[in-house]
Structure 1
């Protein structure tokens, strides 16, 4: 029952566009679909979601023709299992620090013979037991993305790109800047060099993703082969829209003397 459109588009060489999603609002998810986004990254690491809320957002994404990628809080087996059993199109896992940890993640996310994911065909992803070839299909269609957001992952990028079941390496400039000792300064030469290294090694071997917030950055990354694009987040865009609206009535605010 999950939508694997994003994985298929990436495999066809297309660029796909999504956004981090941090609020429990199916209505806002629908607006993303109406605007033409390809996927949402439901942020269970920094957002506040129950398993049931995530499942309903997965349903909403399916209805709107979008893929649902869940950024899990971590790589714990229960978190991986819940979102995939709910029918998520894929997972995006933060905070890992080595290719060995990613191989263990694959074990949790894939069924035999690629992994050891717990099997329960009565789950939503398997159509509650109505999809006879579910395990084979899930292995083939589930997208697996991991964050490259610390210096350890950058140093292990060669081994990371050698893992066949890994689909996307997602560059996190903000966390990477902190890991390299320059918090909040993604333009620091050390951070830029690390990003360059990841793109250089991963190009042609893995799909590459990152977060962008302006057209110049988008053009630059796409030209370098980054085709899995997260455009800001719902909260960032809502904040921008509200600030823009408030600017219209700012001149009508009372002055300090009460006039």
Structure 2
């Protein structure tokens, strides 16, 4: 089942963010049963080779892999898509113009202007024709809504043809509101809820990052569909600290 088919099912899709860039880790997590993995290439030092190695490790499992690129740039997006992810996350989509540009970069003609090449995504040329015919329908395009300007423009952004889902980036949203040192401020959550409601009205799946299982369950009840249940580094740090603290207790 393609990632876009999971989105269309109406059920929550459970993900995990990968920042370490290790293919063995990606393979392990994929076999656990997550619906999707968020390969984080914006706030990490991952190279294209590292991204592709993780995609290769995940292939053959029931888990899809989505890559967040570091900017809304045609060349970067083209090269990442050619590594063969099931979808791509575009950061900092703050306006309808940003959204239209992202679609041009992620879709083949006539919807966009993605370049045609030979790489892993096209089976190194062996599956070129079929991939070109199906990629616009099968490869998900997801926008990050992570600035107060994006919230203000959300209805226009959601109208852009080719968009499959959005994810709210609460931390950067808080920063754009000058509330990065006050993350519990209810004004941030008010803006998050505006995005969620706009997505419900438009029939576009909305995603979020959940810091713990209780928060994830609460977000799902609110109507969030793409729920990222944590990040590899946070889980590793929490588990190892708990292990050490438990052993050292008198």
TM bucket, shorter chain = over 0.9
Q: What TM-score do you get using the length of structure 2 for normalisation?
A: 0.94
Superposed CA RMSD: 1.4
Aligned to 2:187: 190
Aligned to 1:91: 88
Q: 1:236-255, aligned counterparts within 5 Å?
A: 236-251=234-249
- Give a deviation string over 1:89-148, Cα, whole Å, max 9, x none: 11111123212111101001100010000111x221111222222212101011111111
Q: What TM-score do you get using the length of structure 1 for normalisation?
A: 0.91
List structure 1 segments (4+ residues) > 2 angstroms apart after TM superposition.
130-133, 184-187, 248-252
Aligned to 2:122: 126
SS state at 2:59 partner:
helix
Is the counterpart of residue 82 in structure 1 residue 92 in structure 2? Answer: no
- How many pairs are equivalent? 248
- Give a deviation string over 1:72-105, Cα, whole Å, max 9, x none: 0111111101111111111111123212111101
Structure-1 separation of matches of 2:25 and 2:182: 31
Aligned to 2:60: 63
Q: Is the Cα contact below 8 Å between 1:174 and 1:184 reproduced in 2? A: no
**Where in structure 1 are there 5+ consecutive unaligned residues?**
253-259
Q: 1:164-183, aligned counterparts within 5 Å?
A: 164-183=161-180
Aligned to 1:144: 141
The structure whose Rg is larger is: 1
- Give a deviation string over 1:206-232, Cα, whole Å, max 9, x none: 110000022332122111221111111
Structure-2 separation of matches of 1:251 and 1:193: 42
Structure-2 separation of matches of 1:185 and 1:141: 40
Match of 2:207 among 203, 206, 209: 209
